[in-house]
Chains A and B, each alone.
Chain A
């Protein structure tokens, strides 16, 4: 056990550097997913038929293939058609982001549909345009729903950064593998790696749980729920 701790001290800096890269990678991919996902969601909500179909096709395809496939296509496949991304980090970020965008689009959609129809009608009834309704009534209710799902997505993204190891991105998994080739002590290194992922992931998970609880409480602010005073149960 002591041997483990002393070795762990040696390994930690190198592994921690890998973790930082993992987190950066997840961050880059999330930025792409959040923005592209928004574009996709908008295309589906307010776009013309062609735009809607294109967006939906994109979402169906990127959600139907494994993340690894996307990774290989971006890193090995794109060079065949002339697009070369030298840095494995950016290739991985692109691939993960492109995949995540489809999921974010779905999250946006569910969030926007969470306020009930009566909310939109009530805002129209006082003379709001659809845009005002979206801005002042729907979005404020959609965002508390979207946020926990988005942080959950970020957590998944962090886990998926491990895939980038196959294209030699210097993230945590890659560093762990390299370390093993030098030290021949896979089990301890993997355990340490696991602990590092836990350390990074737990805060995100806790955040997600907290946001979800907050959103649920907020949702109960709607007109109907069991046992509300004065309301006849319909």
Chain B
């Protein structure tokens, strides 16, 4: 290792580019997150549908995404699809790939949240005269949101980390810039440590938020016994 001065010199050279990359990382993450949050609801609803074929199809998709590596998915979208005439930018492919994976993952979180609420809650609501949909809206969903929120934040952290895979298909985000500058300056370790620090600066506050949410919201929920 070298002296602090030399290190600070490196930092001042490299940091701006790294931060620019971090901006792209945030873009990719945020775009995917937005898609996942919304589409995840749709998939969760389909997963719980009364129509069996739809249920199975959705379950199959979710299961597929459990097993399929995200990197392979990205490569498939970016390098494989052009053979069908579908061309997209690396950025688009990344967001699409992350979303395809993320929607499946998040829909399971949503489903778990809904199913974790004690059935007695639904029964009590219906005993008061509410219909299923009303009971869902006013009793079950509000409680499941409290359960889901911390998991959602953790999911966002996961997306943030997975966005680094986009570097493998050439998206100029944080990891890509880090690798490039690390090689260019022959100081891979120092640059990577900076990269790691920036990721931590983004993920740790989210992790703390998730913890806080878990503690505060975990209380006023009636979860099924075990």
Contacts and interface: CB of A to CB of B under 8 A. Distances in A.
Complex contact flag A–B (Cβ < 8 Å)? yes
A40 B211 CA distance: 20
B192 interface: yes
Contacts, number: 139
Interface stretch (B15-23, B31-39, B193-201): B193-201
Interface stretch (B67-75, B92-100, B127-135): B67-75
**A contact patch SS:** helix
B71 to A, nearest CB: 4
A140 B67 CA distance: 29
A205 B72 contact: no
B72 A173 contact: yes
Contact of A190 (B72, B157, B161): B72
Given A225-B225, A226-B225, A69 B164 contact: yes
Contacts of A73: 189, 192-193, 196
A66 B160 CA distance: 8
A68 interface: yes
Given A72-B188, A77-B188, A205-B66, A64 B72 contact: no
A68 B165 contact: yes
Contact of A186 (B69, B83, B187, B225): B83
Interface in B122-165: 157, 160-165
Contact of A165 (B80, B168, B175, B188): B168
A222 interface: yes
B175 A66 contact: yes
A198 B63 CA distance: 10
Contacts of B196: 61, 65, 69, 73
A201 interface: yes
Given A65-B196, A81-B1, A190-B76, A205 B63 contact: yes
A68 B167 contact: yes
Interface in A136-187: 155, 158-163, 165-166, 173, 180, 185-187
A166 B168 contact: yes
A18 to B, nearest CB: 12
Contacts of B160: 66
A42 to B, nearest CB: 22
A69 B195 contact: yes
B218 to A, nearest CB: 14
Contacts of A68: 164-165, 167, 175
Chain A's interface size range is: 35 or more
Contacts of B61: none
A78 B190 CA distance: 10
Given A69-B195, A72-B182, A64 B79 contact: no
B220 to A, nearest CB: 19
A210 to B, nearest CB: 14
Nearest to A200: B67
A61 B201 CA distance: 10
Contacts of A219: 226
A193 B67 contact: no
Interface in B99-137: 119-120
B68 A197 contact: yes
A6 interface: no
Contacts of B81: 187
Nearest to A161: B69
Given A159-B69, A165-B168, A198-B68, A67 B192 contact: no
Interface string A192-206: 011001100110110
A72 B192 contact: yes
B67 A205 contact: yes
Which of B120, B160, B196 is packed against the most chain A CB atoms within 10 Å?
Answer: B196
A194 B188 contact: no
17 contacts: A60-B204, A64-B199, A65-B199, A66-B162, A69-B175, A73-B196, A77-B193, A79-B188, A80-B190, A162-B71, A166-B168, A166-B179, A186-B75, A194-B72, A201-B66, A224-B226, A226-B120
Query: Which 4 pairs of residues, A with B, have the shortest CB-CB distance?
Result: A77-B189, A201-B67, A76-B188, A80-B189
Interface of B: 1, 63-64, 66-72, 75-76, 79-84, 119-120, 157, 160-165, 167-168, 175, 178-179, 182-183, 187-190, 192-193, 195-196, 199-200, 203-204, 207, 224-226
